[in-house]
């Protein structure tokens, strides 16, 4: 990747040149994360070789378990749905300069709120109404939870990265406290859970298609938030604040409102992920809500460069990796933490690759020196 396009310095740029130039610059944001993925796959292969395992077998199983058949695709998309939403929980605050890593807590409490609010309504409200109320409760709960981290950041200068993760531990404790205590369904013997919402109220696929509601909603949310952050006054103000809070304040932008609003949108997304986990998979709030989607979402958002639209394909990729975990575990006898370790490799290499931006001459081809 060296400088290939030498252009006469004085030539006026034509429209076509200008477009190709812009494309070339934009391609940097695809190429470098992709390169990071390839490098981390190579490093992980070397790691497997050092353990005497076959990387070919590993990636073949990854492919088959994640994307190789209709069944594995279904499994993958099922996992991608919460990942899209938890990644949005990282991506939106990142635009305003907040590093929020507490999506797991908002997911858990969102799912908990959805399951709890459903209990008195069971048999009273018809399924669509019930599900709508559950979804709203989950979003409100998530918005409140991450909004708290945003508010503390703004009013008290509390570091939001640490506070949001602390809130996650608190959220998990709150969920267990009620699920194993006051709100426990007496029929849940071995695994404490709230009263199940019942099979008739569970959310399936969109009628006439095989598309999972959670994934469709997640994708719609990603598109909406992409528009919000890149095409509206709100998004513009948020990005200015993220770039330079002092300048934003000098311009009279409502920095506090923007900060808290972004945090609340983020929390609502993660809370919604919790709702879908309850409404499509678990049917009640229980320990299975703590599945690490919130943490994988952090990596998804970083890999997508905190761009809502890019979150969708990256979430599908990581949904596939997670879905293949079981197959790899069974066939190769590797521990279940293999997926976590692979994610760690990718995360570390990805952040190291940040240093490449602006350094590769090819992407700067059009610079008039």
Residues that bind another protein (CB under 8 A): 99, 101, 152, 155-159, 161-163, 165-167, 169-170, 173-174, 176-177, 180-181, 295, 298-299, 302, 334-338, 340-345, 347-348, 350-352, 354-355, 357-358
**d(Cα 181, Cα 108) in Å, to the nearest integer?**
17
Hey, what are 171's tokens? 């959220």
Nearer to another protein, 101 or 266 (CB): 101
**d(Cα 323, Cα 316) in Å, to the nearest integer?**
10
Spatial contact of 89 and 225, defined as CB atoms under 8 Å apart:
no
Q: What are the Cα distances from residue 146, in Å, to 111, 137, 223, 274, 319?
A: 14, 14, 21, 14, 24
- We find the least distance from the C-beta atom of residue 299 to another protein, in angstroms, to be 7
Hey, what are 319's tokens? 């949904």
- We find the least distance from the C-beta atom of residue 156 to another protein, in angstroms, to be 3
Nearer to another protein, 5 or 166 (CB): 166
Nearer to another protein, 155 or 251 (CB): 155
- We find the least distance from the C-beta atom of residue 40 to another protein, in angstroms, to be 11
Q: What are the Cα distances from residue 200, in Å, to 130, 196, 205, 283?
A: 11, 11, 13, 10
- We find the least distance from the C-beta atom of residue 311 to another protein, in angstroms, to be 17
CB atoms within 10 A of CB 327: 17
Cβ contacts of residue 257 below 8 Å, gap of 6+? none
Residues of 276-292 as b/e, b for ≥16 C-beta within 10 angstroms?
bbbbbbbbbbbbebbbe
Q: Is 193 helix (H, G, I), strand (E, B) or coil?
A: strand
Q: What are the Cα distances from residue 73, in Å, to 216, 223, 276, 279?
A: 15, 22, 18, 20
Spatial contact of 109 and 145, defined as CB atoms under 8 Å apart:
yes
Nearer to another protein, 152 or 264 (CB): 152
- We find the least distance from the C-beta atom of residue 102 to another protein, in angstroms, to be 11
Nearer to another protein, 38 or 132 (CB): 38
- We find the least distance from the C-beta atom of residue 255 to another protein, in angstroms, to be 14
- We find the least distance from the C-beta atom of residue 335 to another protein, in angstroms, to be 4
- Look-up of token digits 């939106």: 92
Nearer to another protein, 99 or 240 (CB): 99
- We find the least distance from the C-beta atom of residue 75 to another protein, in angstroms, to be 22
Spatial contact of 88 and 224, defined as CB atoms under 8 Å apart:
no
Spatial contact of 338 and 326, defined as CB atoms under 8 Å apart:
no
Hey, what are 254's tokens? 């409502």
Nearer to another protein, 67 or 347 (CB): 347
Nearer to another protein, 101 or 114 (CB): 101
């Amino acid at each position: 990747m060296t400088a290939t396009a030498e252009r006469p310095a004085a030539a006026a740029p034509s429209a076509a040149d200008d477009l190709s130039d812009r494309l070339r610059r934009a391609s940097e944001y695809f190429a470098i994360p992709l390169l990071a993925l390839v490098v981390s796959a190579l490093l992980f292969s070397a790691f497997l070789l050092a353990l005497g395992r076959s990387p070919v077998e590993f990636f073949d199983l990854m492919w088959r378990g994640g994307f190789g058949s209709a069944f594995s695709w279904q499994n993958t998309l099922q996992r991608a749905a919460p990942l899209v939403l938890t990644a949005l929980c990282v991506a939106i605050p990142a635009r305003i300069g907040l590093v929020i890593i507490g999506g797991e807590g908002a997911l858990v409490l969102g799912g908990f709120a959805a399951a709890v609010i459903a209990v008195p309504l069971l048999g009273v409200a018809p399924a669509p109404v019930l599900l709508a109320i559950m979804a709203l409760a989950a979003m409100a709960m998530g918005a409140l939870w991450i909004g708290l981290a945003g508010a503390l950041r703004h009013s008290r200068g509390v570091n939001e990265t640490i506070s949001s993760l602390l809130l996650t531990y608190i959220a998990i404790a709150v969920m267990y406290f009620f699920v194993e205590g006051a709100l426990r369904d007496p029929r849940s013997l071995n695994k404490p859970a709230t009263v199940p919402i019942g099979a008739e109220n569970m959310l399936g696929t969109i009628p006439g298609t095989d598309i999972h509601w959670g994934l469709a909603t997640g994708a719609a949310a990603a598109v909406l938030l992409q528009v919000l952050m890149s095409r509206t006054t709100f998004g513009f103000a948020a990005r200015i604040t993220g770039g330079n809070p002092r300048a934003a304040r000098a311009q009279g932008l409502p920095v506090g409102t923007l900060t808290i609003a972004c945090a609340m949108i983020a929390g609502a997304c993660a809370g919604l992920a919790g709702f879908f986990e309850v409404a499509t998979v678990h049917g009640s709030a229980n320990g299975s809500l703590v599945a690490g989607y919130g943490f994988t979402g952090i990596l998804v958002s970083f890999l997508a460069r905190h761009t809502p639209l890019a979150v969708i394909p990256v979430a599908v990729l990581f949904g596939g990796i997670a879905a293949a975990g079981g197959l790899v575990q069974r066939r190769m006898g590797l521990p279940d933490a293999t997926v976590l370790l692979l994610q760690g490799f990718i995360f570390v290499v990805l952040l190291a690759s940040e240093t490449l931006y602006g350094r590769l001459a090819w992407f700067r081809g059009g610079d008039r020196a």
